[in-house]
Amino acid sequence: MTRIFTVANQKGGVGKTTTSINLAASLASYGKRVLLVDMDPQGNATMGSGVNKSDLEVTALDVLVGAIGAEEVVQRSLSGSYDVLPANDDLTAAEVELLKLKNKESRLRYALIRIKNNYDFIIVDCPPSLSMLTINSLVSCDGVIVPMQCEYFALEGLSDLIGTIKKISQHLNPGLKIEGIVRTMFDPRNSLSNEVTAQLAHHFGGLMYRVAIPRNVRLAEAPSHGLPALVYDKSSKGAVAYLGLAGEILRRGKTKINS
């Protein structure tokens, strides 16, 4: 059964796109069929996967407005390990275009129905703001993976996201929940990181993934080469951490299926 996860945080700069790219690549390395959906007009997940957003003739926007099927837009990532539904700044028009359409909050969900059986996992990277693109991303998925830095305002941002998820689950996507919380840019030597970790463990228990993603130069360098860290430098701490995160997600999923 296909599992669809949206990587979301209404706070920017938390490693959302980095997590989307590297999680897609890491799940693929375990032999899973993976699609990465770029729902951010910046197109960073697209570029970070080795697809030139400037050369695109059709994008996620065309899929959302129903001009073309998702299967005709999907491309292979440069690493060849996962597929990408690409985006560029044309997607900024979606805010206006979607308002004209029926079921405007569910356009992505309907579009993915046509291709979801081709994949084991679909990872959706969405903008940091609460836009129609973010709402479409949340309506389309089974669960939300939340990347967050262990800093002072992180829990406040997480509280806002939880409120949004509750509203979406009540009105548009029953059963939507947080799949897990992943700590990014983590430094165990930092006392604040450990304090926030303790608070997350207290308030959210098993929702916090045991694996934390460290600050890592290779993670920052890899997107400029159009590659996930796993391909750019598979021995880097960042690549190893995302492999561990993917493994943890797979184990959790197997537990839920068996329970």
User: What pLDDT is attached to residue 17?
Assistant: 96
For the chain, give every domain's residue range: 3-252
Cβ 11 vs Cβ 32: under 8 Å:
no
Residues 213, 218, 221, CA angle at the centre, nearest 5°? 120
Strand 121-125 to 34-38 pairing = parallel
Per-residue tokens: 12: 């920017």
Confidence of residue 92 (pLDDT cuts 50, 70, 90): very high
10: which residues sit within 8 A by CB, 6+ positions away?
128, 129, 130, 134, 157, 160, 161, 164
Strand 83-85 to 75-76 pairing = antiparallel
Segment 129-145 mean pLDDT:
95
Minimum mean pLDDT range among 98-107, 166-175, 250-259: 250-259
Residue 225 C-alpha from the chain's centroid: 20
- 3-class SS of residue 88: coil
Confidence of residue 158 (pLDDT cuts 50, 70, 90): confident
- Is residue 152's pLDDT more than 80? no
User: Which whole-number Å values give the CA distances from 131 to 67, 84, 96, 125, in the listed order?
Assistant: 21, 21, 11, 13
User: What pLDDT is attached to residue 95?
Assistant: 85
Which of 74, 11, 66 has its CA nearest to residue 37?
74
Confidence of residue 251 (pLDDT cuts 50, 70, 90): very high
First to last CA, the chain: 16
User: What pLDDT is attached to residue 259?
Assistant: 46
Distance between CA atoms of 80 and 69, rounded to whole angstroms? 22
Confidence of residue 39 (pLDDT cuts 50, 70, 90): very high
Per-residue tokens: 137: 């991303």
Which of 197, 183, 187, 177 has its CA nearest to residue 148?
183
Amino acid at 126: C
Per-residue tokens: 192: 């604040």
| Fold (topology level) of 3-252 | Rossmann fold (3.40.50)
Alpha helices in the chain (DSSP H): 16-29, 44-47, 60-64, 94-99, 107-113, 132-140, 154-171, 191-204, 217-221, 229-232, 237-258
User: What pLDDT is attached to residue 255?
Assistant: 62
Amino acid at 99: L
Q: Which one-letter DSSP state was computed for residue 116?
A: G
Q: How many CA atoms lie within 13 A of 236 on its CB side?
A: 21
